Amino acid sequence: MKVLIADRISPIGVDLFKAEDGFDVVEAYGSSPEQILDLVKDVDAIAVRSDTKVTADVIAAAPKLKVVGRAGVGVDNIDIEAATDNGVIVMNTPTGNTIATAELTFTHLLAGTRPIVQACATMRDGGWGRKDYTGSELNQKTLGVLGMGRIGAEVAKRAQAFQMEVLAYDPYLTESRANNLGVKLATLDEVIEQADYITVHMPLTAETKHMLNADAFGRMKDGVRVFNCARGGIIEEAALIEALNSGKVAAAGLDVYEDEPPAEDSPLRSIKNLVLTPHLGASTKEAQENVGIDVAKQMIDTLKGGIVINALNMPSVDPKVLEKLAPYMTLGEKIGTFSQQLAPEGVEKVSIRYYGKMVELDTLPLTNAVQRGYLREISDNVNNVNAPKKIERLGIDCEEIKNRNHDEFNELIEVQVVCKGGKTRTIAGTLVGKNQLPRIVLIDGHGVEVNTDATLLVLKNKDVPGIVGFIGVTLGEDGCNIANMSLSRDKGEGFAVSVFELDTAPSEAAAKKITDHDAIEKYRVIKL
């Protein structure tokens, strides 16, 4: 395994890579974009901080690349979409700087409460303006926290130590979790209108961009204090400037900005009741060391086939769960491949149904396996990372349904493809015997038992005498050896479904002879 460490991380993290047998570690700090393009040609992994840009061109130049690890939280320097398209895992280290960012946030809260920064500047200029720098107290004030993830929760914990009441807004925060944290669950409007202090701890998304805008500031308490150590753009800077200048906002603190760094002539730089820091959230010795160690451990585990954690473009699953899922994943991939070849065109929806005890496990890896199998014959370079995206780009809606019980089987994976016009084809399979061998057991509702390690000839024919003999003779004359066959009769419709396990696929001449027969309704060769 070749690992490129493009930006400086903790020496302990570097040593962790070097200690692994079979790992070739290249340290290339400060490399130019052109040098990076040359260095990545044969690498399996790239570790970065924020300096090196892992662009689509870099990813395209690295055909062996499996994982990109960001020592830190923000991944603006990594083209996640290009990575996903190429099946490359992108991971970050969101916990390593949690305490550092929480403590910086609280530093801003304190600096916005007592004008320490301004008083210090006066002292350095020879002044002594005791009467000019009267502050306030955190005690008994209400802090509104927007976003109660790891950092928001740590800020809330520190606020409670200062006897503050905490209102928490987070769409994903449950009442029980809020109670455990000792905070009051609130709506966004309640936080905006009731809080004396507001601090932001949410990602920048289309929904959170300019969440605190002119309208929001207009509804806040007079003399409110506002802080952002999360992501620039959540607070609308123009609206904040106006609110600070008007006195609506008594004080504010920013560590992140809409454009970084802010322009030298930015109005933000001249507002006296605004404390600015240059994106220092993770800038502690401890945090820098933590993220370097974390990214090394995560990348090593991933490269060695272990648990994948903190991935931004695929699910993280415990290895013990993966071990239990492994035979089901093999089955799911085979069913996915079968279903695509059974209905190769015009598919609008793929419905994946799980039955039995497997529904108690995390079935997302199973769904990825089905998707991977579905794409095997129609797309290149498919893996668990890019399969969901590739399915989506084909315009196919994919759904997952769980049901503990099935009428006929204890456990079953069923894949139904819905074609244009509403026509459906259904394949289902289960595991058989102590060795948990994958078998196809239903084709469009017809019961069969089919090995999944074969070339399959699937026929639907009128249930009339002589068909099996005709097929046997035709395949024999073509040199196709039949390893096994399964037949399911439907007396109600007068049709039969038969599946022949073959050593080789029939020739075009044999295929034409079979499909020209008056009793043959459907003919498919499935390669599993």
Nearest Cα neighbor of 302 from 87, 69, 42 is 69
The pairing of beta strand 412-419 with beta strand 424-432: antiparallel
Q: Which residue has the tokens 């606020």?
A: 159
Residues 6+ apart with CB under 8 A from 370: 332, 333, 335, 336, 350, 352, 413, 415
How far apart are the C-alpha atoms of 217 and 198, rounded to whole Å? 11
Q: Would you call 511 helix, strand, or coil by DSSP?
A: helix
Residue pair 307/317 in contact by the 8 Å Cβ criterion? yes
| 3-state DSSP of 87-152 | CCEEECCCCCCHHHHHHHHHHHHHHHHCCHHHHHHHHHCCCCCHHHHCCCCCCCCEEEEECCCHHH
- Does 201 participate in catalysis according to the annotation? no
Distance from C-alpha of 147 to C-alpha of 80, rounded to nearest angstrom? 24
Bond into 63 cis (ω within 30): no
Q: Which one from 81, 137, 260, 493 is the annotated catalytic residue?
A: 260
Burial 160-193 (b: 16+ CB within 10 A, else e): eebebbbbbbbeebeeeebeebebbbbeeeebbe
Other beta carbons within 10 Å of 361: 16
Q: Which of 49, 70, 225, 231 is catalytic?
A: 231
Catalytic residue among 114, 150, 210, 279: 279
**175 is a catalytic site residue:** no
> CB neighbours of 241 closer than 8 A, spacing ≥ 6?
267, 268, 271
By C-alpha distance, which of 192, 259, 271, 252 is closest to 231?
259
180 DSSP 8-state letter: H
Which is nearest to 89 in space by CA: 383, 337, 293, 326? Answer: 383
For 85, the token pair is 């398209």
Cβ–Cβ < 8 Å for 398, 350:
yes
Locus of tokens 């500047």:
121
User: Under a CB-based contact definition with an 8 Å cutoff, are residues 386 and 371 in contact?
Assistant: no
Q: Is 260 a catalytic residue?
A: yes
Contact residues for 291 (Cβ-Cβ < 8 A; gap 6+): 9, 10, 71, 72, 93, 96, 97, 282
Residues labelled as active-site residues: 231, 260, 279
